[in-house]
Amino acid sequence: MASKRPQSPPISLVELRKRCRDASLSEQELTDYFLPDEENSKPFAPALKLNEALVDVGRARPGPDAISKLYADATRAQTPLPKKPRVLTQTFRRAAKTKLLAEGDSWFNLPDYIYPKTAIDFLGSDNDFDVSNIALWGDELEAMVRAKQYRQPLRSGLFGHFLFSGGGNDVLGSIPAYVKPRKSGDTDPAHAADYVKATFPQKISQMMGFYRSLANDARDATAGRVVLYVHGYANAIPKKGGHYLGGPFETLGFDPVAHAPLCRAIVAQMVKLFNDALQSFAQSTAHVVYNDLRPAMTERDWYRDEIHPNESGARKIARIFAESVRANTPGV
């Protein structure tokens, strides 16, 4: 029988904050001192809580946002920009890594060690790429485009490729807002489109306005030299009692097991509308590349929380982006 690993020593909140700022916590300490907080998690914004059996919080009660910030500091979620490349001789120029900037939501960045690795984690381990990731779980499309944190890195001139992930909360996390209650006796997946409210395509149109602003920002910051890569997520699978998909469907009168084909078809319809809009946007906008992730994601490639890829799914997505970047890199 395997021996149980020793637990990390108790720590005060003051010391924990210092260790987080110094990024000096080990993987074991991170997973001992921080725990998933399902009660306060939202779509594409997984929350964390402190393990108060080990962390002495005293009278303080940090909220989920403050705890996520601590964890991001501890794991250096926002990686520093690479240094300006030195001038290379012709002999070594081809060996230089392709520099990528990534911005987005939890499909591009999740709390390390607690959640699965993302596609950007795997892309960063590819010997051909040097990835600077400024994505952070919980970031939403509108807020990212209004904050424009990507603009300064793009202006540095270091990046020819810009990967962006945004809008997942508006699609995979929006069942309560945009799906109608089930009609009594209806289990036919052919009726999926009838259950998507007319306000959802309106929401998609609003989202595409932010994507157009994003493309304009990228073009203006780089004088049109950067390629923007976008994606429309994939056909997630509702589970019985699932926090983000299955539970909301049950509230609307659907059973994710008994009515599985209909529930899945409704999710697929919503994802399709977003993908169609992104594809049209990319086809009509210079230097924008659309990536369809749906064919790659199988039922086995989803994490248990319903809306994120597991590591096998993330690896597949990383390969799609890698192939897309190589196809749009001169001389590769």
- Residue written as tokens 């990731």? 133
By DSSP bridging, strand 129-133 and strand 98-104 are: parallel
Given a contact cutoff of 8 angstroms between Cβ atoms, the answer to whether 99 and 132 are in contact is yes
Structural domains in the chain, sorted by start:
11-75 (no CATH), 90-327 (3.40.50.1110)
| Out of 55-69, 205-219, 271-285, 291-305, least confident range | 55-69
Taking a C-beta distance cutoff of 8 angstroms, is the pair 256, 189 a contact?
no
Distances (CA, A) of 71 to 17, 133, 136: 9, 16, 11
CB atoms within 10 A of CB 280: 12
> Do residues 74 and 113 touch, judged by C-beta distance below 8 A?
no
Give me the pLDDT at residue 332, please.
61
Is 90 exceeded by the pLDDT of residue 86?
no
Residue pLDDT, tens place only, 48-77: 999 999 999 988 889 888 998 899 889 875
Q: Is the pLDDT confidence value at 6 over 90?
A: no
Q: Considering the chain, what is the average pLDDT of its residues?
A: 91
Six token digits for residue 41: 């998690």
CB 296 within 8 A of CB 234: yes
How would you classify the pairing of strands 288-291 and 161-165? unpaired
- What is the tens place of the pLDDT at every residue in 140-184? 999 999 999 999 999 999 999 999 999 999 999 999 999 999 999
> Do the Cβ atoms of 264 and 189 come closer than 8 Å?
yes
pTM: 0.87
Residue 98: the pLDDT is 94
Identify which of 238, 303, 233 has the alpha carbon closest to the alpha carbon of residue 273: 233
Based on the number of CB atoms within 10 Å of its own CB, is 31 exposed (0-12), middle (13-18) or buried (19 or more)? Answer: middle
Q: What percent of the chain has pLDDT over 70?
A: 92
More confident residue, 39 or 174: 174
The single residue listed with the structure tokens 């699965």 is 116
Round to whole Å and give the CA distance between 258 and 274: 27
Q: Name beta bridge partners: 179.
A: 196
User: Would you say 17 and 55 are in contact if contact means Cβ atoms under 8 Å apart?
Assistant: no
Q: What is the pLDDT of residue 4?
A: 63
Least confident of 65-69, 279-283, 285-289: 65-69
Q: What is the mean pLDDT of residues 239-255?
A: 96
pLDDT, one tens digit per residue, over 92-140 is 344 578 999 999 999 999 998 899 999 999 999 888 999 999 998 989 9
